[in-house]
Chains A and B, each alone.
Chain A
Amino acid sequence: MKLQEELKDSGFVVIASHVQNVPKDDVIQFLRQQKVNFTVTSGGDVPGDTANTIPRAFLFDSKGRLVERGLPSELKAKIPALVASEPHWLAAGRDYTKLKPVAESLKTAKSYGPILKKLDGEMKGSGPAAEEAKYLSERILGHGKSKLEKAKAMEGEDPFPAQQLYTDISLQWKGSEPGTEAAKRLKELKGDKEFQKELKASTVAHQILAQCDKLVAQQGKINLEYAPNREIAASVRSLVPALKKKYAGTKAASTISQLLEPYGFKDL
């Protein structure tokens, strides 16, 4: 989980597929309690894999080739070196003769605006440099557009992270189309009363969930009567009715009880 967080900007991804006969709700409850920060699926399979012990893992490079297989703990030690040796995921998929430094700069870039500006200049020319610039520009802009679509889809479901995502896009792609679109949408949402009400409710709900993330689990289970958890439990028990009263009719108010069940809160 730590590795996923540390390397997420490089494009490194963990996908863990559950392959036992265990109820989905039990698995999801466990994942929430453990604050898992990567994608989990069920019933995954690797061609040619005949082993039957778990856990077992498979490491793929940026070209999609299987480079290692074995215990997750053994493979995890090799990941930072592999990521460092691979191109940034946005630059992956081709070789560079003219713009290799620009492709490499993606690994440490905090925003894409200056890189896109440079690529625009290169595209005005011709030959390999223009071709490489076109490829990189399309990949970076495509990523921005994909994030815009995710933010748009989140608006109705979960306004608080949607707002945060629009803000991130407006900064990271400043000076380019995705950045301008995100800034424009933020301005529109500021004047949308319905959205603003949902946003306030969503913000409170996320604050409650952030408190729940501090609950201490014992052997994988959360006991709200456990001394270190009592104060947080009491706070949550008073905040939830207040959320439901103040923001009645919002999505956050209607879903908060279900979101709190994995933490042991019943009938809130």
Chain B
Amino acid sequence: MRRAGFLALCAAASALLLPRAPAQEPVSLKDVKLGEFWYGSRLSPEDLKGRVVLFELWGLK
């Protein structure tokens, strides 16, 4: 019983001492770097307000 209590206390202490994995900040479109405009319609962050947006990262090669 003492051993069980001691182990429980150690588990609680380690939970306090060990660094927690940082909670992931939810990603918002306003924080996305859209990049330098190259082709198509120029879109400002204001243009994207209220829209469903698919943002792709791609390469030609």
Contacts and interface: CB of A to CB of B under 8 A. Distances in A.
Interface of A: 10-20, 22, 24, 26-28, 30-31, 36-49, 54-62, 64-66, 72, 75-76, 79, 82-83, 86-87, 89-93, 139, 146
Interface string B36-61: 11111111000111111111111111
Nearest to A146: B47
A115 B59 CA distance: 43
Contact of B34 (A41, A49, A62, A65): A41
Of the candidates A41, A55, A82, the one having the most CB atoms from chain B within 10 angstroms of its own CB is A41
A-side binding surface: helix, strand, loop or mixed?
mixed
B60 A47 contact: no
Given A27-B38, A44-B33, A75 B54 contact: yes
A54 B60 CA distance: 10
B37 A64 contact: no
Contacts of B39: 27-28, 31, 36, 39-40
A17 B30 contact: no
B54 A37 contact: no
30 contacts: A10-B52, A12-B51, A13-B43, A16-B57, A18-B60, A22-B59, A28-B38, A28-B39, A39-B42, A41-B37, A42-B38, A44-B32, A44-B55, A45-B32, A45-B33, A46-B55, A54-B58, A56-B57, A58-B54, A58-B55, A59-B55, A60-B29, A60-B52, A62-B51, A65-B28, A66-B26, A72-B54, A86-B52, A89-B50, A90-B50
Given A15-B43, A15-B55, A39-B40, A20 B61 contact: yes
Nearest to A83: B52
Interface of B: 24-43, 47-61
Given A44-B32, A64-B29, A17 B51 contact: no
Contact of B28 (A10, A56, A64): A64
A36 B38 CA distance: 12
B52 A59 contact: yes
B43 A39 contact: yes
Contact of A15 (B26, B56, B59): B56
Contacts of A86: 52
